[in-house]
Structure 1
């Protein structure tokens, strides 16, 4: 078996055996066939790499096809945008408010290399084929640093800005034909863009405060550069260039100042004083520039007026930056900060009514304080430092664009009041939107009461009216991990409905509700894979929208496009236009009162359905079986895909007891994909309908929301394989290794197999996987009974081929793991050093801490060491009397193959993620 076609054909024939032997595992058997050939020298790692490259290419092509369907490419470039309006007033109302706020976030999802992203984009908009050049060796992947993430975010936003300009220009041109006397009054604002890359401090300490200031200054310079280029394209001698050119030069100089290490007081003082000093070219507001462009457009020829108004629209949307910015801190960081301002604060319960009463008075009576960069430099509290940084940005970079303050794990009104206190203390409450994040099970469960209590606070209501909006953030990553993706979406929409009720009850219908739904691109993190309509409705359903509409509350929807996966929609200007047109053309639907969705009226069924799935997911999360299986390989199944660490540090022994809370949501969900079964999407649905399949099926089929839920579950199920999960458990089966060479076969590895069998007799992972697989299988049988009562979906023609491709990828990776295990146990014994024993190194290999294991192996068996010939000695020596080859053969035969096999396995990780459509 030397080709991918051979492997697929072999897997197909192996699958037929499952009808005879239900416990037979085709994926594991194929890996055994391949492993025997590899260990016998009939198959080489070079040949495996060739097959992996072919499979990587196929995975990118599969992802390109899916993206193409999602964006409905090719689009008709001549078609009108949005609904048809007969009245100019209605047209203005529709397009002068953002159809969507879009935030470019950067959690660890930068799986694709730049070359792969480019190839994928070309395939999406081209003929669908990907060149083999997209295959990238693991060691050639770029380091995903914060600077790398920021650069990719700015690139994606730049393409989004250009796409928005195209849409605005088309709207203006169309309006000029339809309303020739009024079209110049249109102040189109179809989209707003924002980012938190460089400003998100939740869960990380590696971002220095001057990094954030430096990023904001660099963004200002980049945006001014783009404005200048646009205006020069309209008129190279335009009078406003005399304002913008010097402002650009000044911004570039200040950005260069803050790109340096400003840890030393002298360096900071120099840079800060140059930034804070009055200067003729220190542009802090675009308001007069926008007014001048719009005034000129009133009298310009149509073509020139369209260009001027398009530029003015971009300036109104973005301000003096590539977009708005979101700072983010954790609630605990705010609690620690506010305790400093409360007498006896080190002992007070921040969530108590007493603390809330104190904070209420503090917010009401606070007197603003002046601050400077010195105060920012010496501040030790992360939360206070963020407010100080925001103050300096508003004072010295961009005075117009508001800043979002996202508060993670926010479960108490007092936390928001603490944030409001610091905003008022530093005089920026008129430009800062404090936004609590609801993502944990507790936050979602009690979020309604939280909002009721918060909106009853008079100081908060005054603040919200001043800002013109109430802001919340709902997250799908941790929610999808802790309660499951289906219950998370239902809990989030209930919370959104409670927000609308609370705003109505507290006379806040005159302000907007900004609901930021953060999610990733995969089906396990809140981005529905079936269609762009589903993608937009999944985090903000028609039912939730209707609750705001009933109270006549203007809704400002906001979503994220996360990291490398999300940026793929903006990888090229063409893709960015297609993405924004999909959103612009979508008509936000609302739950009709006269034709209600049965999912919300038959709550006797739907609530029980929701609670049962959530309970099933909680059982998994609390189960030691599930936790041990998911963390059996640590995080070694995954590529490094972000600058934010994926887990806390631990020693070797801790890997055996790693808690799921030690790893973040994205790697947790990514591991589920890599093991072959998206538990957090599928599990629990079957158990929730047991004994009531027919009635639940009728409810789902009669409900738009119910059908949407099932489209998500079916998409995940179409890629899921319980047999694959079982196959990974068999790697730790002592009986398998003991039996593999039982009849005298594979004599060359009999010692290694015996050693593995002996070592794994006390290992728990095989049993853990078997228990988990049994639970998943029972639940899946019940799920398929439900599917039997639902109309069959029309399968995509290539879906079965994708499933077989996934099976081949998994078998190849299992083969590589077996090769690593065999080489690791066959390594000659070595002495304990630095409290690391040979068994510790073996455990590192089994948990895929390969870099650590290789470092210990190379310490024990160095292949590069001083040679006697390196020394010019007068005295002769007969020692050493060997060839000086040392441990070279050990490196060649044992250590290097482990490294190579692991590197190849990580490329398989990328291919599997591409078939799922995203990392995590």
Structure 2
């Protein structure tokens, strides 16, 4: 690469390793020693130097790509180390030994106590397909191998990025593999429990049906915020999962010596696969529906819709089995009783708006009754008590246009024709009124599924979390609702760390969710609700910013449902089932190897069997007035931040366009065509991922400093004295180490017109000067620059207070920080290069409804793939149609091939621009390694 006359001849190292070392040294030494250099920005200065190097020939785009891979590999190695630490007890065997000891202790209390502990479900693992597939399946396996075996994290030199074919079907394929390993781990747990019982209770052990942990999935059944899942696809997935489990049962039965049962199970599995294939056809065609429906619902000698008879048959077989076969038969019976006719239980999900739309007419409510309040609750309760059963067929499902009604009809079909015994969870997202839940109970009664469907409100918005305690108290006081939960034997709620953390900060959300746990326990005790269990499903995900604690797996589970909250349910006399989610690619990583799946199950079992009495001596709870003041101040700070115009403008200006496609669900909620992106339309994971990519994970690190400024000494003392507060702050501190306002200010520089005007003044060629001035002109309103700078100033005041609060914690020396800042500097240089390339585009008359200014603006928003596609259409390299002119025989000296296309614009602008964008997104994936997950 030749040097550019526009820049002085400075030298940068050429090899990736040397260049990485140079960048890290520049960042470590670039902070300045005092206030004499207040405008110094080590990240932005390094970015400018790299940008300059691109023009001097000191570095190339390929060289920067090698540097990004070097830093990404380092991040991946650190991520593997963190994964290994998370599973240290599971991988070392310590968790297994601890669980053996725990089971022996329980057995010493007698058979009844042991049976109560291990046969009642206490925990659940739920697989969800949120967009966290930022790494390819091959790289996730390499990461798992590094964690388990100590292998090089990227020994195969895999690309850092997602698979190219992420779809609902591929996500379902991945969840099937995760469930299979989880199912294997649960089988080992059941064998351990039965083995312990056999040693302690040799005459009675074989009567036990262990079922400590359940598996569930909503992949293919979650319709909240998406319209791309056809009802037929959900039926096909459910049948496929049934076939998988029947085949598993057949293999286990054969191993246990139950050959006749194995044959029957094999036939049932084959028939189920045939039915699944029929529901993968075009179900928008009534003829296809008729064929598939009639095949599924027709009587068949090999069809299984219930395992009740087989479980009873196994009970008889166990009594007469040999000592050799008895354990395997008992384990098979336990799995059948726990799993039912599916690889996992299923969770259907819709949102409250869909439910309200479906029941409004039935409840006699006008469209303008938006609050869905007391009148709606009273009428829903009345209708639920008197609902007349509606018979459902697949014709009903085909014809129904309202999502909520169709989903309840699907429940009816699942229970009638696929699995009559296994309960179905029905999740209501964005639930903020008791009437919404009661309306769902009404529909469940209407379609005859109330005895098998657990309706679960999801509390995830600030309003829902604030009002959730009162909402549940009001519901529990309603006789119709109490009748419903008493019939089901359980009450289910779901808490959303993702959206809650987006709106009110992760620390604030955790405190609000803990409070809601406690309020629900109090409501159950106050109303004297007995003989039911409480199912608490805490959705969270794998990254620090979305709920996972940067400690051990046990600490992570305690983070989600604290020992104090668990003790409150114990005090209320209500058995607790704690479910947690493993979301998308980042979540499935914990099941990418059997050893990791075993670790999850073992440590989940340990946590489930430990129901603490609470720690009343913890000053966090003893000084509740003070800690609650902190929560209120923190929540207010985060909500003000979310509403801050500068914050919204900064997040939406370009950051979402730096993200890779990481899931089949759209990252943005649907809006009007051409509508500017509102921050509330950006879903939780991409929102938090955008914060990562701006180097400000302030949904975790922000607000503590400002919230404790009135009594900082008291807060510092509380962190020292309170295990609860210390665990909360540990997560905040980890986020703080990855927060870089220098990087944020570096992004602000990109959109500062004065920066480009200054470059123009020093440019040595007229062409370069014009390019810089054009960029300055497009950025003359300074809106993005101003928003980013003002946001940095706002965050700086809070973070300085937090740094003073945790003085002594050496976060600045965290090596991850400098690697992340180096990645930001590289990307800022690439963005500047992209800006410069597009500014060299020659003027042209408007084509395809686009002007030169429009194309520049697309690149300024980092909508580079759109800009490249438009440029290719406007400036094709050659026109195939015009090649026909070669057949003209008349000679010419003015017929140039260049007139038939734009090879010069292709070579100088379009292809270089196209080359930059993948490297920018590779930086995004590399940064996510240091956060241990995307978003």
- Report the TM range for the smaller structure's normalisation: over 0.9
Q: Does 1:81 align with 2:99?
A: yes
Q: Does 1:126 align with 2:149?
A: yes
Q: Does 1:750 align with 2:783?
A: no
Aligned with 1:147 (options 169, 182, 198): 169
Aligned with 1:113 (options 126, 136, 146): 136
1:189-204 to 2 correspondences below 5 Å: 189-204=211-226
1:281 maps to 302
Structure 2 vs 1, CA of residues 190 and 503 (structure 1 numbering), >3 Å: closer, same or farther?
A: same
Shift of 1:490: 0.8
1:804-847 C-alpha deviation (Å, 9 max, x unpaired) = 21122111111111111111111122222343222222121111
1:552-609 C-alpha deviation (Å, 9 max, x unpaired) = 1101111111110011000111110122122223366666467432112212310111
1:641-676 C-alpha deviation (Å, 9 max, x unpaired) = 111111146699754xx3211211111101111111
2:590 maps to 569
1:703 maps to 722
1:59 maps to 75
Structure 2 vs 1, CA of residues 880 and 467 (structure 1 numbering), >3 Å: closer, same or farther?
A: farther
Shift of 1:392: 0.5
1:904 maps to 919
Tell me whether 484-493 or 42-51 shows the greater mean CA deviation: 42-51
2:747 maps to 728
Contact persistence 1:27–1:811 (CA under 8 A): yes
Shift of 1:242: 2.7
Tell me whether 432-441 or 729-738 shows the greater mean CA deviation: 729-738
Shift of 1:141: 2.7
Shift of 1:40: 2.5
Structure 2 vs 1, CA of residues 10 and 205 (structure 1 numbering), >3 Å: closer, same or farther?
A: closer
Distance 2:501 2:181 in 1: 30
1:229 maps to 251
Shift of 1:687: 0.5
1:696-732 C-alpha deviation (Å, 9 max, x unpaired) = 2222322121111111111111222111111111111
Structure 2 vs 1, CA of residues 640 and 330 (structure 1 numbering), >3 Å: closer, same or farther?
A: same
2:393 maps to 372
Distance 2:335 2:301 in 1: 24
Structure 2 vs 1, CA of residues 653 and 380 (structure 1 numbering), >3 Å: closer, same or farther?
A: closer
1:526 maps to 547
Tell me whether 174-183 or 676-685 shows the greater mean CA deviation: 174-183
2:344 maps to 323
Structure 2 vs 1, CA of residues 302 and 841 (structure 1 numbering), >3 Å: closer, same or farther?
A: farther
Distance 2:249 2:467 in 1: 46
Structure 2 vs 1, CA of residues 620 and 834 (structure 1 numbering), >3 Å: closer, same or farther?
A: same
Structure 2: runs of 5+ lacking an equivalent: 1-12
Contact persistence 2:251–2:262 (CA under 8 A): no
Contact persistence 2:409–2:447 (CA under 8 A): yes
Aligned with 2:836 (options 801, 819, 822): 822
Aligned with 2:731 (options 698, 712, 715): 712
1:25 maps to 41
1:499 maps to 520
Distance 1:606 1:375 in 2: 53
1:841 maps to 855
Structure 2 vs 1, CA of residues 620 and 243 (structure 1 numbering), >3 Å: closer, same or farther?
A: same
Q: Does 1:850 align with 2:871?
A: no
Q: Does 1:97 align with 2:120?
A: yes
Distance 1:880 1:311 in 2: 83
1:9 maps to 22
Q: Does 1:36 align with 2:58?
A: no
Structure 2 vs 1, CA of residues 872 and 819 (structure 1 numbering), >3 Å: closer, same or farther?
A: closer
1:689 maps to 708
Distance 1:585 1:501 in 2: 26
- TM-score, normalised on structure 2? 0.94
- Secondary structure, aligned partner of 1:263: coil
Structure 2 vs 1, CA of residues 306 and 50 (structure 1 numbering), >3 Å: closer, same or farther?
A: same
Contact persistence 1:528–1:712 (CA under 8 A): yes
Distance 2:273 2:584 in 1: 26
1:809 maps to 823
Contact persistence 1:410–1:437 (CA under 8 A): yes
Distance 1:327 1:587 in 2: 25
- Secondary structure, aligned partner of 2:581: strand
Structure 2 vs 1, CA of residues 869 and 344 (structure 1 numbering), >3 Å: closer, same or farther?
A: closer
Distance 1:595 1:393 in 2: 46
Shift of 1:357: 2.0
Distance 2:765 2:340 in 1: 69
- Secondary structure, aligned partner of 2:426: strand
Shift of 1:895: 1.0
- Secondary structure, aligned partner of 1:429: coil
1:511 maps to 532
Distance 1:801 1:774 in 2: 25
Structure 2 vs 1, CA of residues 193 and 836 (structure 1 numbering), >3 Å: closer, same or farther?
A: same
Structure 2 vs 1, CA of residues 649 and 479 (structure 1 numbering), >3 Å: closer, same or farther?
A: closer
Q: Give the count of matched residue pairs.
A: 911
Distance 1:708 1:733 in 2: 40
- TM-score, normalised on structure 1? 0.95
Shift of 1:741: 5.1
Distance 2:206 2:492 in 1: 32
- Secondary structure, aligned partner of 2:121: coil
Distance 2:369 2:753 in 1: 55
- Secondary structure, aligned partner of 1:514: strand
Aligned with 1:887 (options 894, 897, 902): 902
Tell me whether 697-706 or 264-273 shows the greater mean CA deviation: 697-706
Shift of 1:736: 1.5
* Backbone CA RMSD of aligned residues: 2.2
Distance 2:552 2:888 in 1: 80
Shift of 1:749: 3.6
1:290-329 to 2 correspondences below 5 Å: 290-329=311-350
Structure 2 vs 1, CA of residues 652 and 808 (structure 1 numbering), >3 Å: closer, same or farther?
A: farther
Distance 1:508 1:852 in 2: 58
1:466-499 C-alpha deviation (Å, 9 max, x unpaired) = 1000111110111001111111111111111111
Shift of 1:65: 0.4
1:863 maps to 877
Distance 1:355 1:214 in 2: 36
1:780 maps to 799
Q: Does 1:163 align with 2:185?
A: yes
Distance 1:72 1:65 in 2: 10
Distance 1:808 1:569 in 2: 29
Aligned with 1:394 (options 415, 428, 431): 415
Distance 1:249 1:836 in 2: 56
Structure 2 vs 1, CA of residues 13 and 185 (structure 1 numbering), >3 Å: closer, same or farther?
A: same
Structure 1: runs of 5+ lacking an equivalent: none
Structure 2 vs 1, CA of residues 691 and 425 (structure 1 numbering), >3 Å: closer, same or farther?
A: closer
Contact persistence 1:599–1:606 (CA under 8 A): yes
Structure 2 vs 1, CA of residues 794 and 535 (structure 1 numbering), >3 Å: closer, same or farther?
A: farther
2:66 maps to 50
1:220-619 to 2 correspondences below 5 Å: 220-235=242-257, 238-343=259-364, 345-349=366-370, 351-586=372-607, 592=613, 595-619=616-640
